[in-house]
Structure 1
């Protein structure tokens, strides 16, 4: 299969690994003094463990797992508001499957569905639009969730609803953007980050220039990467070469998919439908200015926060994590999942305590699925 098999070639991977070992030696990185590389995207985290790249790369590299899972970074208060919306008798609540089992303070959406709420799992906001057409006497609310990857499809659906005049369709908007949390991490004096592996799917939409500040203002290299094992290994090598050479640039390993300036149609739809929120709460990072998106005034008829008086439209509601849950620390790279006291005992995929064990992009789910334990995983400093 083109663009897949060649990026899984074992012999090519061995060659890149040898090159990585050489550069690590040239830098002088060791197990006790490693290079800290953060992969921002949760999809990259899963690929690293799926293909065992954490064990194949030399001990002078330490992968730090970033806040690149949109389900994981959503605070519990927003799940509570989803449940509040879903339990209204007039509402059909539509969501992606990843969000169904994320715990709120009272219950998850899956538990709310079991209790009688009309909650539908959909694969696209277009599915929710079709439900609104078929159920004109019900309010259909779509849980708009995700980074810039999924933001355009929600925007295009809102535009379509406006053209059709679907007054019973609205979006509970929780779309967020990648650059602001990266800046928040770089501004954190306790974070040790030497370089970044940048998100491929997000960059497919926004291009590479939104990351310019990382190299320009903070002197850190970032390489936008694909999701196959050779993509990630090559991207790590490119980051290491920049560090060795004393460079800090934005490079694009995933050029076969990611254009420099992004997708103009998607960007136009985003700009038309959304504007930046003054602030938005992130699990583990707190409130970050201009990191979330809200629906513009011209489309307010399709804004569930306006229509039902929930969410940031009614004022933020800060909710503490469950006792013993370390999702925030894991998500910001301060500790590894296996260092959480609840990992694998009080928190499992079957009975999750936190979002990182639920989502298909969550770091805890990756560790659990691929058998990561302290037996072979050195704890983070």
Structure 2
């Protein structure tokens, strides 16, 4: 990529929109209408709403917004656990800014900070490690979350802490993995998706091979895409070509960043530090087997979960919150009765209204309540 404007060219975007319209007019695709394509990554969802890409798509193509925003799938009990940790007088809790406003059953981390808890926003786990260096008499906990995109940074930071002998640094781990959630969605009998736009950042780490089960077992195309408007439009063109030709393959639109085998150094760091949990909770989606990671026994001394007196129990979503249906692509954000009324970015009732990558927050920002 030489200039980012090359990937935001409105003339080229309209040309791709017209190409899609011609493709959808072909008999092979007319019989499949509507073609429902799920973009897995929250970054794609944000781009789609920000640039109004749905308005460029011809009738018969429907974009489904999937559970690819890591903040959006945080279960309330993990926020409650963070609150319990932060309320200990000798603890400094650190985390990313998006996690600060996710609602738990006792409020958000931002509200807890307003009540006096020492909770600090950081931009990377290395920032949290520096807080531990600067405060040797305090326990510094980094609330680590995200898909495989952020796992390597967390793993390398912990390795650095071990190398330096920083004993007051802890991880409270809620890293999750992309493949089990995709399998859970595909196994849902109410799930109606014809193809997937694969996540670009996750794929930069894990490569393309992990998605082959979608094409081989579930017979659905996957196209890994970049995050600019033309990236996403081109990936939809590639999806339609597969459907038109009767192919189900894993293809790479994001060739300037993603390779088939991923980043081997990053994967090695992740394998050194983390091990799969038996089960992990997802907001709105329940428990999914082997979908999250925890620290390996060799790093148990840095595990913040041992600082918890008793982990919080799983709590049900508010009865009027429709986040789970939006996460599964069964509901558009504007169809939620709370959207833009009782649930706004300033006062989120559901997690999808928190992060800019959440479907509800992106829809609210760029399309409003209408």
Aligned to 2:336: 340
1:71 aligns with 2:78: no
* Aligned counterparts, 1:295-306, within 5 A: 295-306=295-306
In the TM superposition, what is the alpha-carbon distance from 1:135 to its structure 2 partner? 0.7
Residue of structure 2 in register with 1:236 after alignment: 236
- Counterpart CA distance in 2 for 1:160 and 1:268 is 15
Q: Does the 8 Å contact 2:284/2:317 carry over to 1?
A: no
Q: For residue 370 of structure 1, give the secondary structure of its aligned residue in structure 2.
A: helix
CA contact (8 A) 1:142 1:171 kept: yes
Name the residue aligned to 1:171.
171
Cα 1:367–1:43 change in 2 (3 A) is: same
What is the CA RMSD across the aligned residues, in angstroms?
1.5
Structure 1 runs not aligned, ≥5 long: 375-381
Unpaired runs of 5+ residues, structure 2, are: none
Is 1:361 aligned to residue 357 of structure 2? yes
8 A Cα contact 2:340 2:369, kept in partner: no
- Is the contact made by 1:30 and 1:59 (CA closer than 8 Å) also made in structure 2? no
Please list, as runs of the form range in 1=range in 2, the aligned pairs for 1:307-318 lying within 5 A after superposition.
307-309=307-309, 311=311, 317-318=313-314
Q: Which residue is equivalent to 1:282?
A: 282
Distance in structure 1 (CA, Å) of the matches to 2:162 and 2:310:
22
Matched positions, count: 370
Within-5 A mapping of 1:152-301: 152-301=152-301
Mapped partners of 1:215, 1:25: distance in 2: 25
Deviations 1:194-226 (A, max 9, x none): 000000011001101110100011000000000
Alpha carbons 2:93, 2:142 under 8 Å: kept: yes
Which whole-Å deviations, capped at 9, do the CAs of 1:280-335 have from their partners, x for residues lacking one? 01112111111001000001111111243554xxxx72111123111111111111
TM-score, scaled relative to structure 2: 0.97
> Taking structure 1 as reference, are residues 310 and 39 closer, same or farther at Cα in structure 2, changes over 3 Å only?
farther
Taking a change above 3 Å as real, the CA distance of residues 236 and 32 of structure 1, as seen in their structure-2 partners, is closer
Shift in alpha-carbon separation, 1:62–1:372, aligned structure 2, 3 A: farther
Query: 3-state SS of the aligned residue for 1:251?
Result: strand
| Other-structure match for 2:327 | 331
What is aligned with 1:2? 2
Distance 1:31 1:345 in 2: 39
Give the Cα–Cα distance (whole angstroms) in 2 for the partners of residues 89 and 98 of structure 1.
24
**How far is 1:29 from its partner?**
5.1
